[in-house]
Amino acid sequence: MKSYNSFNVARQQVLEAAKIFNLDDAITEFLSKPQIEVNFTIPVKLDSGKTKIFEAFRIQYNYARGPAKGGVRFHPEETVDTIRALACWMTWKTAVVDLPLGGSKGGVRCDPKVLSNSELERLSREYIRAISPLLGVDIDVPATDVYTNPQTMAWMMDEYETINKRHSPGVFTDKPLQVGGTEGRRDATARGGIITVREACKAFGFDPTKEFAVQGFGDAGQRAALLHKEMLGGGKLVAASDSQGAIYNKNGFDPEELVHHKLKTGTVLKYPGAKQIPQQELLELDVEILYPAALENAINVKNAESIKAKIVCELANGPTTPEADKILFEKNVHVIPDILASAGGVTVSYFEMVQDKSLFFWEEEEVHKQLDKKLTLAYNRVCEAMKEKKVHPRLAAMLVGVARVAQACKIRGWV
């Protein structure tokens, strides 16, 4: 299978949108590169007394529309190009949902599974010591991402406040409620995806009460399985997968019981009544809705022709390759692209920033109401662009995002 560099894919998407808008060379080049990029090393003393050096990154891709916003990942295979791509996509994601934010992303190349809790705390604090001058509620606001969590954000926030000697909860989001976090954040990514599926069903006549499958039964995948029936009035979860394998039952699984099994055993495998199937087979099942919530490039030129789902709701970042996008569009598979489908997380993170700034916190019902409003408007705007320009949904979403960022850059007089 063809190997993809994530940032090359992201750049190609920008260039495709710029060509349709006939943007000039200067703004096209400007939107194709990060504004600020930092690559650094972090020395961390391990519990053994030895010091280990970790490579780390923080990239602020674009902040024309507001302070940069993006998560911090702890991953053993982290690369600068992955971080560049994710910061790029975050720029369009915040613009598509019309948030007054830019896009950023950070990461540390490490294996958090082999680090103790105290080692993770020291790593988190050292990361902030290294980039503290680059952060701020009006500069760049980190959040959770792969293998980081609310506790990570609490450590990072505390370190930032210690360095700057002032209370600054809004500089980090996805924090625990006790230190300025918001209600409604934990299921926000999945909830946003379900809202876009609901709107797609309204717009194109799909049936959300039929079968659906979840590829990647991590946090977002689990919550999507739980919320699907609640928010869409039905639906049968017939397949789910994680890094250890995939399971199937034509009669369906109880999402709550499957989540309980996953949390208890660490995998979806060996769930009572489940048949183990190849990972690839899950993607090709004849279901109404498929939720890719795991790896990049899962849907590619080798399997796109075999995709039978009517809707592909991308809760993962970059699960569909450019060639596969075109194949799915020609097959009338409705792809809800990641920069729209998974925008619920950053949207509620923005709500957290607003609440931290005002020191007035919303009830969960209000968070859900405002998220629904934002994602519904965003989905419908992308649909309008899709129909106006006669393009596939991902390109339509890119057109909305790129147009808004390009306009901000031009108004500022940057290009």
The answer to whether 261 and 269 have CB atoms below 8 angstroms apart is no
Average pLDDT in the 76-97 region?
96
Residue 100: phi and psi, rounded to 5, are: -80, 55
Q: Which amino acid is at 251?
A: N
Rounded Cα–Cα distance for residues 248 and 332 (Å)? 25
Q: Looking at domain 188-341, which CATH architecture does it have?
A: 3-Layer(aba) Sandwich (3.40)
The tens digit of pLDDT for each residue in 19-68 reads 999 999 999 999 999 999 999 999 999 999 999 999 999 999 999 999 99
Whether residue 105 lies in the annotated active site:
yes
Domain ranges of the chain: 36-178, 188-341
**What's the distance, Cα to Cα, between the start and end of the chain in Å?**
39
- Name the residue among 138, 66, 63, 59 with its Cα closest to residue 104: 59
- CA–CA separation, 195 vs 176, rounded Å? 25
- Is the CB of residue 6 less than 8 Å from the CB of residue 318? yes
**Cβ-based burial of 32 (10 A; exposed 0-12, middle 13-18, buried ≥19):** middle
Residue in 105, 229, 236, 374 annotated catalytic: 105
Same fold, 36-178 and 188-341: yes
Does 390 score more than 70 pLDDT? yes
Round to whole Å and give the CA distance between 234 and 324: 29
Into which CATH architecture does domain 36-178 fall?
A: 3-Layer(aba) Sandwich (3.40)
Nearest CA to 292 among 269, 274, 317? 317
Strand partners, 69: 141
Q: Decide if 67 contacts 141 (C-beta within 8 A).
A: yes
Mean of pLDDT over the chain: 96
Q: Quote the pLDDT of residue 176.
A: 97
Amino acid identity of residue 365, one-letter, is: E
203-220: pLDDT as tens digits: 999 999 999 999 999 999
pLDDT per residue over 271-308, tens digit each? 999 999 999 999 999 999 999 999 788 999 999 999 99
